Structure 1
Amino acid sequence: MRENSQSETLSLNGEWQFSLGDQSGPINVPGVWETQGFRDDLEGLAIYRRSFDVPDNWQDARIFLRFGAVSYYIEAFVNGQPVGTHEGLWTAFEFDVTDALHFGQPNDIELRVIKPGIDGDRFPYRDVLVGFIPYVSITFGGIWQSVELVAIRDLTWQNFHIAADWATGQVHLEANVAPLKSRHLRAITEIIDQHGNVVTKAESVLTNDGAFSLTLSIENRAEWKPDSPTMYSVSLTLYDEDHNRLITGLSRYFGFRKLSADGDQLLFNGQPVNLRGILSWGWDPATLAPIPTDDEVRHEFKRIRALGFNMVKLCLFVPTRNVFDIADVEGMFLWLELPMWYQRMNDHLREQSVIEYTDILAAVHHHPSIIIYSLGCELGAEMADASLLETLNNLARGAVTDALVCDNSGSGEAYKGLSFDYADFNDYHFYCDLHYFVSLVDHFRRDWREPRPWIFGEFCDCDDFRDVDEINAANGGQRPAWREMMGAGATLERWAGIEQEQRMAALNLPFSSQQLVDISHRQSFVMRKTVLEYVRSRSGMGGYVITGLRDTPISTSGVFDDLGRAKYDADAFRAFNADSVLILEQGRSRVWQNGGDRPSPADRFNHISGGDVRFRVVLSHIGAPLTDQTLHWQLRMPDGSIHVEGEQRLSKPILPGNPSEIGVIEFAMLDTTTPMQCTLLVELGAVTSNAWPLWVYPQLATWTQPVSIYNPSGNLSWLEGFVPMNWLLNPTRLEGLSPILITSVIDAVVIDYAKHGGRVMALQSGKDSIATSPVPFWRESIKLLYDHSILNNFPHDGYADLQFYHLATDHALDTAAIRSKWTEITDVKPIIRRLDARLFTTLDYLIGLQVGNGKIIASTLRFRGGAGDQVNGLQNNVAGAYLLRQMLDYLQ
C-alpha cells in the first residue's frame, strides 16, 4: 500500500445501490449484504453502484480507490472503464483510477463482487482462504471494510517494515519509494516515546533506487508487557532537498517484547509466562464479519480478563485493525492464526496463499500484542504439503520479530499431515473426555524430542444447553436468523440446533430450559477446572486456548452465551485460570497383577468414611518469586463448619516457572453413616486459593445374600468379591434363583425371568447384546439426574460432578431400541439420562425397566473403572461400589 501523510481522502462509506439476483435496494458500506436483507445463498454477482464528485483541487494528483477489505473477489469500474480486480478476503488494496475520472461532473462507480460459494460456484469456499467462517455460520459477502478515494501528489512510502529487537533495543526500518532519477531526497526518522519525547533521531539520503534502510538504537528502552504496555512510535518523513519541502511521511506504533523458549520453558521478556487464551472465530450475529467497534473490543477484553484470560486467539480470521490497536494499548496478548483450514490445495490457491499471507503480515507485523502466529490449522497432507508450509514459514519468519511461529496448529502428526513441523512449540487440539486427557497428554509427550514448550492451540470444549425461548424473547419474540445456520457440511445428524424446539418438545423432559442451562454450566465448569488444573500440574506447559469465546450457531461451548453473559463466576474461574494456581495432587502407586506390576491410579475425589487421606499441594506460579508464605487448608462440612484444618510455613522461596510441590495435607476422613459432600479449601496467604469437592461414603456392610450371575458376554468377573456369586452356565430358563440376578445381557431368558417377578441388574459398559450407542460422557452432553430412590442416597447436587469421574463410560443405553425390541417392557424410568447437547436426543446411563411383575435395572456406567486414568477394579472405585450397592438395595 502507498502511504503519504500529505494525501487527501474522500470517504465513500455510506449508502450505495445494490443488486443481487432478483433483489435490489440501498445498502450500507462498510458491511455485508447478508445482514441487510439480501440473500445469503448466492455467491453473486453482487453489484454496488453510486456516484461521487471529485474535488477540483485534485486535478494535479494521482487518485486511488482504496478498500479496507472485500469478500471475496471484486471487479471495479469507474465511468464504465475497468480500473482493477482483486482476489482475497482479508487485506487492503487499491486501484489507480486517475485516468477514468471526470472533474466538474459526477462520476459513476460500479463494483462487481463475488463471495466464496459452494462447489460449482466460481470460488468454492474450500478453494480459497476463507478460514473457519463457513463452518461457523455462512460465508459473508461484500465491502465489509471502508472504501475511500485517496489523492496523492508526490512520492509515497511503500513496503514499510519495522523490526524492534527486545534484547538490544535496536529498531531496524525498511521501506522504499519509486526510483528517484535525479531527485535528491532526505529522510528524517524519529522514534518517539509514550510521553511525546524524541528518544532518537537520524537523517539519511535516499539512494537512486529509492530504497531506505536504517537501524537505530534506544538506550534503556521500556518493555511492552500486559501490565505496562509501553509503546513507541516511529515517524518517517521524506523531504525534497532541491525545493526544501515535505513530500511524504508515515508513522507506526511498536513495542519491545519477546516471546521465546528456553528448553520447554516459555518466556516472555525473559521471564516465565503462562498464556491463558480464549478462542475466537470472529462470530458476531449482528455483523457476520469481524468488524467490532472500539467499545466492543475494549468491553470484550475487560470481560475475558475478569475470567483470568490474558490472550485471545484469532482463529483463522483477520479482524479489522482496531482489534490489534486496542490490544496493543491495553496489553492483551493475541495469537493470530492465518486462514488456512480444510482447504483443497491447487496451484491457484498455492499462489494465492503466498500473496495473501504477504499482505496480511505486512499489515500487522508491527503490533507487539501479536506474540504467536500460526500458518494454518489441523492441516492434513492433502491440504498443505512441505513445500508450501516451508514457503509460508520462511515468509512469516522474515516478517515478524521476537514472536513464536507455528506452521500447523494442532500438528501434522495428529491430522495425517507432515511427520515433521516448522513450529517453535508443541501444539495439540485435544477434544477428549475428561478421564482420557492425562493419558492422551502422556501419549504425545516424548522425552527423546528436542524440548520445547507445549501450548494447546485449542481444546477443552464442553457444550452447554441453549435456552431458545430466552433468545427469541431478546429478539422481539422472533427466532433470530442465525439460528437457521448450520455451517458448511453440517447435517442434522451432526448438529440439530435448527430443530431444537421440536426435538425438545418431543422429549418432554421434566426439566425446565433454565434448569438445563444451569446444569450444563455447572458441568462445563467442572470439566474446565479439572482440565486446566491437569495442564498446570505439568512441566513445560506454556499455555492453552479454550474453545471458545462465545456461543455460535454450531457450538455452545463459549464462556459467554448468545446474549453475551458470562456462564461462570469470575472469581471462581480465576482460581484455576490465573498466574498462580494451586493444584491438588496425589502420590503414585502400583499393583502386582497377573504376575507383573501395573499402574494403580487413586481416586482423588471419593473417600471412605474414617479413611486416611493424603494430598500433595502443587503450585504453578508465574510472577515474582514468593517468599515468607504460609499454606493453610480446611476441610469444610456441608454446613460450612470446619472438620479439620492445618497450615505450614514454607521454608523455601517459590520461583516462577514449572510447577512445584509446596506442601502436604494429611488427615483422617470424618466418620459418617450417610454420604456427603465436603469441601477442601486451600489458601496460600493472599496469593491465591482453590477449592475442591470431596465425597465421603460410609463403609459398606458385607452383602451376604447370594446373587445369581448370568454372564453370556463374559464381562462380569470384576464383581468377584463384591457379592456372593452363583454362576449360571447357559440356562434356557431361569428358575429357583437367588432373589437378584446380575446379567451382562438382556435376552429372552432374562425378559421371561423378569416378567415372572424376577429382579435383574443388567450391566454392560460397551457394545454387546444390550442396545447401546458409543458417545462421550463429559463432552457434547448434559447428564440429567432424576428423582429416584437409587440416587436419593447417592451424593450429588443435581448434576454430574467429579464423583462420576471413575464411573464415566463411552457407551449409553439406547432405551428406545431396547423398548422397541422387548414389548414386554411396560414402563421405563430414567435414573441417569444423557441429553445430547448437539442433537437433542436422549440415551441413558442408568434406567429402571418394568417387565410384568419384575424389575430390571440396566446401566452402562463403569463400576469397575479402568478407562483412561480411572481406578482399576470395583474394589478401588469408591463411588462406583456405593452406587452399585444402592442398585442392589433397590432391587432387594
Structure 2
Amino acid sequence: MRFNNVYNSVWPNEGRSRRLTNGWTLAIGDQNLQVSVPFVWEDLGVDKRIEGPAKLDLTFDARPMPGRRYWLKFDGANYYLSTCLNGVELGSHEGIWDDFAFEITDAIKEHNVLEVEVIKNGGPTYPVPDVLSGFLPYVSTTFGGLWRDVWLIETGQAVIKDLFIRKNRKVEAQGDFDELIVETSEPTEWPNMRSIEVKALKNGEVGHIATYPLAVSDAKPKGARLSLNGKEFIFRGILHWGWTAKSAGPERDPKAFENKLLAIKASGYNGVKFCLWAPPNELFDVCDRLGMLVWMELPLWQIRIADEERVLQECARIVRRLRRHPSIVLWTLGCEMRDMPKGFLKRLYRLVRQMTGSRLIASNSGGAEAYHGRLDEPADFYDYHLYGDLHHQPQLFSSFGIGLRKPKPWLQGEFNDCEVYRSIGDAWWSSKDEAVNPVGIRWLHNAPYQNERIEAVGLSGLEEQMRQSSERQSRFMYQTAIQRIRSLPQLAGYVTTSIEDTPIAANGFLDDEGRPRLASACNQELALLLDTERAREWIAGGDRPIEVNPHTAFASSQRLIAIGASNGGADLLRGELTVEVIGAEDGNARKVKKVSIKPGVSHLTEMVVAWPNKEGVAQVLASFQSNDLSVSDQWLVSIFERDLPSDFALYDPESALGFLAHNAENSRTLVATRWDERIVRHLKEGGSALYVQSGATGLPADHLPFWRECFRLTPEGVSESVAIDDSNQGAYLDVSTDRAFIPDRCAQKLETKLSPILMRVDARTYALHYYVFEANVGKGCLIATTLALGNTPFGRSLLRKFVARIALR
C-alpha cells in the first residue's frame, strides 16, 4: 500500500518559522471581515448554514534568500482548501484534522499576495457522513475556516517533512536530505521528557533543525491488564468530543484545556479519550507534560465510505501528525461502526500498527458484538459502550464478561452519562434562528425550546429544585456505576461521558464554570468498594437470584458489610483500614484492620451488622490510611420496617404481589395489578385503590429509562403522608422501573385531574411523566404507580404508605 500524500507537510524549522496571524480579510456570503488566524467563521457571526466558498486574502512581506527554500504550512483547515501565491496556483487539500504544506520557493517575493479558498463540510459539497467529520457536528455544528495556525517556514536545501522515533530508538524521517544528525540523549520514562535536536543536511550543509520530544512510553497488554513501561495501570478516562462552549470549532486553547485537565486530574482521572476528533498538537503537548494518558480515536462514525483509499490516506495523515506524543497509550480506529466494507478495518488496523508500533489498537470502539459489526475485526483489547440503566448494569456487565474467551484487556470505551438540569441562558445553541443554531445533522435539538417546555408542563419556578434533585441523582449514579465496574476483576479501564455539557446533553463532569459537579472518591487510583450478602428465591420450580440492594435494609435484620478495594496502580499498598457503621442496633459498629492491597480488585474485610428495630438512615464509612495516602468513602443505608397492613383486598392476576398477606376480600381498599373492569367498578362505587402497573397494558405509559437521561422530582404541596424522600438515592434501586405514565392520556382515560406524587422529567426534552399519581375516579380515590413495589425494604415501605393513604380517603 503506497501513500503518496501522507508526508505532504513540513516540520517547523527552529528559528526559521513565522506565524501568519494578522491582516487577513475574509469574504463569505455578503460579509467582508478582518480576521486573525486561527479562526472559525461561525464565531464571527457568519450564518452557520453557509458552506462557502470563503475567500481569504493576506498581503505579507518576506526576504527570500538565494539558496533557501520556503514553505507555506497550514496546521488545519476545514474542509477543502485551495490556494495561490502571487497568482501561482499552489494546490489544494481535503481534510479537517491533518496539517499540510506547499513549497513556495519559486513563488515567494518581497511583497506577497496570498489567496485562499475554503469550503467547509456539512453542506451539499461535502456532506457530514461522506467525510471524516467526527462527532462534533452531531453535538454542535459544523465549522469553517483556518482553525489552526498558518506558517511561513524557511529551510535550507535539506528539509524534514516528518520525523518519528520508535520505541527501539530507530529514527524514521521523510523529506529531502542526505544525512540526519540526531542529538545523543538517553531517553527518560514518560511522563519525564526531554527534547532533542535533529538536523537535516544536504551537500554537507544543515538546512533544517527539528526538535523532537523524547520519552519512553511503552504501553501494551499484559494478559488481561494494561501495562505502561512495565507497570500495570487502570485507564480512568473522561470523554472529550472536541466540544467547547467558547467556539463553534473544536477545543484548541491550550491554557483552557490545561485548566480542565487539572480539574479532572484532581478528581482522580488519569486519562482523556479524544473521541472522534484529532486535537491540535498543542493539546497533546499539555497531556505529555501533565502525565495524562490519552486514548486517541480516529474520526470515523456513521461514515459512508465510497473511496477506501481516500479514507485510508486521510487516516494515515492524522496518525502521522499525532504519533510522536508519548501520552497516547490506546488507539481506536472509529466508533460504533457497522456495515463497513469487508477488509477495510483490517487494512486500517495494519496501517496504524505499522505507523505507530502500538500494541493497543482496537478497530471499533463499542465493539462489533454490541453494534452488529464484523466479528473478525482485529482488536488488542475488548472495548464496549455499556450505557445501561443503573438497575440493569450488574447483568449487563456480567453478560459482556470475558468468560472463556481470549484474555485481553477489558475496557469501557464510553459509559456512565449522568444528566442534570442546567439553565441554558443566552448561549448560541439556545437560539431558534437557523442561521445561528441550525439543526444540521443533530438528532437532538431541544435547547431552544427548553424554557417554554418547562413552562408548558408547569415546572417554571422549580429550576433550583430541579438542579438539586438532578445533581443528587447524578452523584449517586456516578459513584455506583464506577464502583460496580471497578469491582470487576477483568477491568482494565473505563471512560465516563463526558468532560463538559454539550448542546444536546447536560452530562458534563465539569459544570459551566469548570468545577467538578460529581463525586471523586470512587475515581481515585485507590477506590474503596462496598458489597453485601447474596440471596435467592424459589420461583416456578427453581432458584432465581435476588439482587440485594446494599443501600436499603429491613429493621431488626442483619446485613453483611463487605469492603473491598480497586487498586488502579502497580504498587502493593500497606496501611490501616477503618470501617464504621453509624446507626447500627447498638449505636456504632467499628472495625480497624491492617491490610495489604495488591493491584487490581481485593477483598479487605467484612462484618455483620444488626440494624435497629426502627426506621432511619445509617451510614457506612470506610477509610484507608498509610504514610503517604489517605482514601475514604461513604454510603447511606435506609432502614425500613417490614410490616404491612393486611386489611385490604388483593387483585393480583399478574402475580406481582404474591408476598402480600391480606384478609379482607370485601374491603373498600383494593390493591390491584391489572387495570380492568373490576378496579374501575370498585372506584366508581366509592372504593379506594392502589394500582401497581408493571407492563405495557393498563393505563397509558411509555417505556423509558429510570436513571439515564432524566431526573425524578417531587412536586411542591404533596401531602407528607405520601411524599417520597429522595435523600438516599440508593433506595430507588429497590423500585426501579422501565415505565412511566403519560399524564394527559391517563387523565383523558380516567376522565379526571391527576395529582402527581413522583414525576419523571426528561433531562433533554423536559417531557413530563408520572411514576406515581393520585386521582379521584368516580366516587373513589386512586393511587397509581409504575414503580416496582416488590418484596424489598423500600418497595414494602411505599406499599405501606400508599395503602395507608387510600384507606383514609
Q: 1:811 aligns with which of 728, 739, 742?
A: 739
Q: 2:126 aligns with which of 115, 120, 123?
A: 123
- 1:232 Cα deviation after fit: 2.9
Matches within 5 A, 1:568-717: 568=518, 573-623=519-569, 625-626=571-572, 629-637=575-583, 643-650=587-594, 653-656=596-599, 658-672=600-614, 675-686=615-626, 687-701=630-644, 703-709=645-651, 714-715=653-654, 717=655
User: Are residues 143 and 108 of structure 1, via their aligned partners in 2, closer, same or farther at CA, if it must alter by over 3 Å?
Assistant: same
Preserved contact between residue 359 and residue 380 of structure 2 (Cα < 8 Å): no
In structure 2, the residue matched to 1:188 is 181
In structure 2, the residue matched to 1:151 is 154
Matches within 5 A, 1:265-276: 265-276=225-236
Say how many residue pairs are matched. 796
User: Are residues 484 and 67 of structure 1, via their aligned partners in 2, closer, same or farther at CA, if it must alter by over 3 Å?
Assistant: closer
Matches within 5 A, 1:724-803: 724=662, 737-747=666-676, 750-786=679-715, 792=721, 796-797=725-726, 801-803=729-731
**Could you say which structure has the larger radius of gyration?**
1
- 1:372 Cα deviation after fit: 0.9
Preserved contact between residue 311 and residue 335 of structure 1 (Cα < 8 Å): yes
Preserved contact between residue 647 and residue 662 of structure 2 (Cα < 8 Å): yes
Correspondence 1:509 to 2:459:
yes
In 2, the alpha carbon distance for the partners of 1:860 and 1:48 equals: 60
Q: 1:888 aligns with which of 795, 800, 803?
A: 803
Report the AA paired with residue 378 of structure 2: Y
Q: 1:321 aligns with which of 261, 281, 304?
A: 281
- 1:87 Cα deviation after fit: 0.4
Deviations 1:522-577 (A, max 9, x none): 11110011010011111120111000000010111001123433213xxxx23100
Q: 2:82 aligns with which of 69, 72, 75?
A: 75
Preserved contact between residue 485 and residue 553 of structure 1 (Cα < 8 Å): no
User: Are residues 4 and 292 of structure 1, via their aligned partners in 2, closer, same or farther at CA, if it must alter by over 3 Å?
Assistant: closer
In 2, the alpha carbon distance for the partners of 1:6 and 1:281 equals: 32
Correspondence 1:14 to 2:12:
no
Preserved contact between residue 428 and residue 458 of structure 1 (Cα < 8 Å): yes
In 2, the alpha carbon distance for the partners of 1:464 and 1:355 equals: 41
- 1:595 Cα deviation after fit: 2.4
Moved more, 139-148 or 44-53: 44-53
- 1:416 Cα deviation after fit: 1.2
Moved more, 479-488 or 739-748: 479-488
Q: What is the DSSP-based 3-state SS (H/G/I as helix, E as strand, rest coil) of the residue aligned with 1:449?
A: coil
Matches within 5 A, 1:463-474: 463-468=419-424, 471-472=425-426
Moved more, 250-259 or 550-559: 250-259
In 1, the alpha carbon distance for the partners of 2:58 and 2:112 equals: 8
Preserved contact between residue 219 and residue 359 of structure 2 (Cα < 8 Å): yes
Report the AA paired with residue 153 of structure 2: V
Preserved contact between residue 486 and residue 554 of structure 1 (Cα < 8 Å): no
Show structure 1 runs of 5+ residues with no match.
165-169, 192-198, 200-217, 728-736, 865-873
In 2, the alpha carbon distance for the partners of 1:593 and 1:698 equals: 25
User: Are residues 67 and 594 of structure 1, via their aligned partners in 2, closer, same or farther at CA, if it must alter by over 3 Å?
Assistant: same
- 1:286 Cα deviation after fit: 1.9
Preserved contact between residue 705 and residue 723 of structure 1 (Cα < 8 Å): no
User: Are residues 267 and 629 of structure 1, via their aligned partners in 2, closer, same or farther at CA, if it must alter by over 3 Å?
Assistant: same
- 1:130 Cα deviation after fit: 0.8
Report the AA paired with residue 643 of structure 1: G
Preserved contact between residue 373 and residue 403 of structure 1 (Cα < 8 Å): no
In structure 2, the residue matched to 1:85 is 92
Q: 1:839 aligns with which of 747, 751, 765?
A: 765
- 1:497 Cα deviation after fit: 1.9
Preserved contact between residue 628 and residue 649 of structure 1 (Cα < 8 Å): no
In structure 2, the residue matched to 1:207 is none
Matches within 5 A, 1:186-585: 186-191=179-184, 199=185, 218=186, 222-224=188-190, 229-239=191-201, 245-347=205-307, 350-381=308-339, 384-402=340-358, 404-468=360-424, 471-472=425-426, 485=437, 488-490=440-442, 494-509=444-459, 512-568=462-518, 573-585=519-531
Report the AA paired with residue 232 of structure 1: R
In 2, the alpha carbon distance for the partners of 1:584 and 1:152 equals: 62
In 2, the alpha carbon distance for the partners of 1:510 and 1:251 equals: 58
In 2, the alpha carbon distance for the partners of 1:669 and 1:44 equals: 69
In structure 1, the residue matched to 2:102 is 95
Preserved contact between residue 486 and residue 553 of structure 1 (Cα < 8 Å): no
- 1:276 Cα deviation after fit: 0.9
Show structure 2 runs of 5+ residues with no match.
1-8
User: Are residues 792 and 581 of structure 1, via their aligned partners in 2, closer, same or farther at CA, if it must alter by over 3 Å?
Assistant: farther
How large is the Cα RMSD of the aligned pairs?
2.6
- 1:746 Cα deviation after fit: 4.2
Deviations 1:363-392 (A, max 9, x none): 2112111111111000002xx334211111
Q: What is the DSSP-based 3-state SS (H/G/I as helix, E as strand, rest coil) of the residue aligned with 1:377?
A: coil
Preserved contact between residue 136 and residue 486 of structure 1 (Cα < 8 Å): no
Report the AA paired with residue 129 of structure 1: L
Q: What is the DSSP-based 3-state SS (H/G/I as helix, E as strand, rest coil) of the residue aligned with 1:98?
A: coil
TM-score, normalised by the number of residues in structure 2: 0.93
Moved more, 8-17 or 747-756: 747-756
In 2, the alpha carbon distance for the partners of 1:11 and 1:629 equals: 54
Q: What is the DSSP-based 3-state SS (H/G/I as helix, E as strand, rest coil) of the residue aligned with 2:295?
A: strand
Correspondence 1:24 to 2:40:
no
Preserved contact between residue 316 and residue 339 of structure 1 (Cα < 8 Å): yes
User: Are residues 487 and 302 of structure 1, via their aligned partners in 2, closer, same or farther at CA, if it must alter by over 3 Å?
Assistant: farther
- 1:721 Cα deviation after fit: 4.0
In structure 1, the residue matched to 2:657 is 719
- 1:791 Cα deviation after fit: 5.8
In 2, the alpha carbon distance for the partners of 1:255 and 1:138 equals: 37
In 1, the alpha carbon distance for the partners of 2:442 and 2:663 equals: 49
Identical aligned residues as a percent: 30
In 1, the alpha carbon distance for the partners of 2:435 and 2:723 equals: 39
User: Are residues 566 and 7 of structure 1, via their aligned partners in 2, closer, same or farther at CA, if it must alter by over 3 Å?
Assistant: closer
Preserved contact between residue 576 and residue 625 of structure 2 (Cα < 8 Å): yes
In structure 1, the residue matched to 2:43 is 35
In 2, the alpha carbon distance for the partners of 1:443 and 1:232 equals: 45
In 2, the alpha carbon distance for the partners of 1:806 and 1:847 equals: 19
Report the AA paired with residue 300 of structure 2: M
Moved more, 625-634 or 767-776: 625-634
Report the AA paired with residue 644 of structure 1: N
User: Are residues 708 and 365 of structure 1, via their aligned partners in 2, closer, same or farther at CA, if it must alter by over 3 Å?
Assistant: closer
Preserved contact between residue 760 and residue 891 of structure 1 (Cα < 8 Å): yes
Q: What is the DSSP-based 3-state SS (H/G/I as helix, E as strand, rest coil) of the residue aligned with 2:731?
A: helix
User: Are residues 775 and 304 of structure 1, via their aligned partners in 2, closer, same or farther at CA, if it must alter by over 3 Å?
Assistant: same
In 1, the alpha carbon distance for the partners of 2:571 and 2:208 equals: 50
Q: What is the DSSP-based 3-state SS (H/G/I as helix, E as strand, rest coil) of the residue aligned with 2:106?
A: helix
Q: What is the DSSP-based 3-state SS (H/G/I as helix, E as strand, rest coil) of the residue aligned with 1:336?
A: strand
Report the AA paired with residue 661 of structure 2: V
In 2, the alpha carbon distance for the partners of 1:744 and 1:704 equals: 16
Correspondence 1:861 to 2:801:
no
Report the AA paired with residue 235 of structure 1: E
Deviations 1:83-139 (A, max 9, x none): 110000011111223333444xx4322211110124xx1111100001001101111
In 1, the alpha carbon distance for the partners of 2:513 and 2:242 equals: 16
- 1:784 Cα deviation after fit: 0.6
In structure 2, the residue matched to 1:173 is 171
- 1:488 Cα deviation after fit: 4.1
Report the AA paired with residue 622 of structure 2: V
